[in-house]
């Protein structure tokens, strides 16, 4: 068989048609960015979610997941989701409070006794109130908040057994007035640092300690640069799944329904994964060299109360929001 230039082009052209049709970029090609390692359940479930959205939208919506601060720190990503530089972003309500003050209320120290209380509040009226405040700030927010978990304190210097152990401690906290206020009320010396800088800040001993749920301590390998883990359970934290408003409104209603359903479903699966991990990781982290202790929480709570922490924040959030919190937490202030 002889292949001349003409027959080659014809063959290539015939092949190229179906191939290029298959490789057509999706009608809606969106980015979802977050601050957690690719191995954290947030990203595992987000990748499944993106596959399910591609399948159910018949390829019309393609969401690319960017884990691990690949697109910048939380502070950067928050401005990107507002400007449309990224279409989706998950952020702790406490950090979001720099834009939406009410959003940090779910992180008030020792407010939730357990996950039942958390989901009752966050899938109930308190969560509804926070979402309406987020919407007023011109961001889209999905119904189901994703879990970060109950937070524990790690240090390189000594375990935290009683509140006095925090005195003067250089502790990294996320960028959020509530976090700074809470650890100041506990007499520590908190420094606001984005998560993207935490590992190196601990490694270079810019700070002695930090606080995070076990699933983060494990997947971000913070145990490599910390010695002690004190199971203080001092607050619960979750991630609101945020969307850029203009990008969301570009999606026709049928696609919005598909996307929202899969995001919320993935969030529920992520919650189950994180709860299971936070319950089981202690053994694993022990074997990696972290020393654990379980302090009593009442003295920490009493210390916060004596420092007027609860009363101060009640007056900032106002009666309405505080009432919704206390409906689940019981009396705090």
Shortest gap between Cβ of 212 and ligand X2X (angstroms)?
A: 5
Distance CA 8, CA 10 (A): 5
Identify whether the C-beta of residue 266 lies closer than 8 Å to the C-beta of residue 48: yes
Identify whether the C-beta of residue 185 lies closer than 8 Å to the C-beta of residue 309: yes
Binding site for ligand X2X (CB under 6 A): 35, 92, 95, 148, 174, 195, 212, 216, 237
Shortest gap between Cβ of 16 and ligand X2X (angstroms)?
A: 45
Shortest gap between Cβ of 42 and ligand X2X (angstroms)?
A: 10
237 vs 270, which CB is nearer to ligand X2X? 237
133 vs 237, which CB is nearer to ligand X2X? 237
Shortest gap between Cβ of 161 and ligand X2X (angstroms)?
A: 22
35 vs 152, which CB is nearer to ligand X2X? 35
36 vs 63, which CB is nearer to ligand X2X? 36
61 vs 198, which CB is nearer to ligand X2X? 198
The closest of 68, 84, 50, 42 to 268, measured between CA atoms, is: 42
b/e burial code for range 215-233 (CB count within 10 A of at least 16 → b): bbbbbbebbebbebbbbbb
50 vs 173, which CB is nearer to ligand X2X? 173
The closest of 193, 173, 195, 175 to 185, measured between CA atoms, is: 173
Shortest gap between Cβ of 11 and ligand X2X (angstroms)?
A: 53
Residue 176 CA: distances (Å) to CA of 14, 16, 95, 180, 218? 58, 53, 5, 7, 23
Identify whether the C-beta of residue 88 lies closer than 8 Å to the C-beta of residue 242: yes
H/E segment holding residue 141: strand 139-141
Shortest gap between Cβ of 266 and ligand X2X (angstroms)?
A: 17
């Amino acid at each position: 068989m002889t292949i001349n230039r003409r027959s080659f082009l014809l063959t290539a052209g015939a092949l190229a048609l179906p191939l290029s049709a298959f490789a057509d970029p999706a009608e809606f090609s969106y980015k979802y960015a977050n601050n957690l390692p690719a191995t954290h359940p947030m990203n595992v479930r987000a990748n499944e979610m993106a596959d399910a959205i591609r399948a159910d939208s018949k390829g019309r919506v393609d969401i690319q997941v960017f884990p691990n601060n690949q697109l910048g720190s939380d502070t950067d990503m928050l401005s990107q989701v507002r400007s449309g530089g990224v279409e989706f972003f998950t952020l702790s309500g406490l950090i979001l409070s720099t834009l939406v003050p009410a959003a940090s209320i779910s992180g008030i120290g020792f407010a939730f006794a357990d996950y039942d209380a958390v989901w009752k509040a966050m899938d109930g009226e308190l969560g509804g109130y926070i979402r309406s405040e987020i919407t007023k700030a011109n961001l889209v927010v999905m119904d189901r908040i994703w879990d970060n978990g109950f937070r524990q304190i790690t240090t390189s210097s000594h375990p935290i057994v009683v509140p006095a152990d925090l005195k003067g401690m250089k502790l990294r906290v996320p960028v959020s007035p509530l976090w700074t206020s809470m650890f100041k009320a506990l007499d520590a010396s908190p420094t606001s640092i984005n998560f993207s800088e935490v590992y190196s800040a601990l490694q270079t001993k810019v700070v002695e300690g930090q606080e995070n749920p076990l699933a983060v301590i494990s997947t971000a390998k913070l145990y490599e640069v910390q010695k002690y883990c004190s199971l203080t359970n001092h607050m619960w934290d979750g991630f609101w799944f945020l969307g850029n408003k203009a990008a969301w409104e570009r999606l026709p209603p049928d696609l919005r329904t598909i996307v929202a359903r899969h995001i919320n479903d993935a969030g529920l699966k992520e919650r189950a994964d994180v709860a299971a991990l936070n319950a089981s990781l202690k053994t694993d982290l022990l074997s990696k060299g972290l020393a654990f202790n379980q302090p009593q929480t009442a003295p920490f709570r009493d210390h916060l109360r004596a420092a007027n922490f609860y009363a101060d924040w009640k007056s900032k959030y106002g009666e309405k929001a505080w009432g919704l919190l206390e409906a689940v937490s019981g009396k705090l202030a």
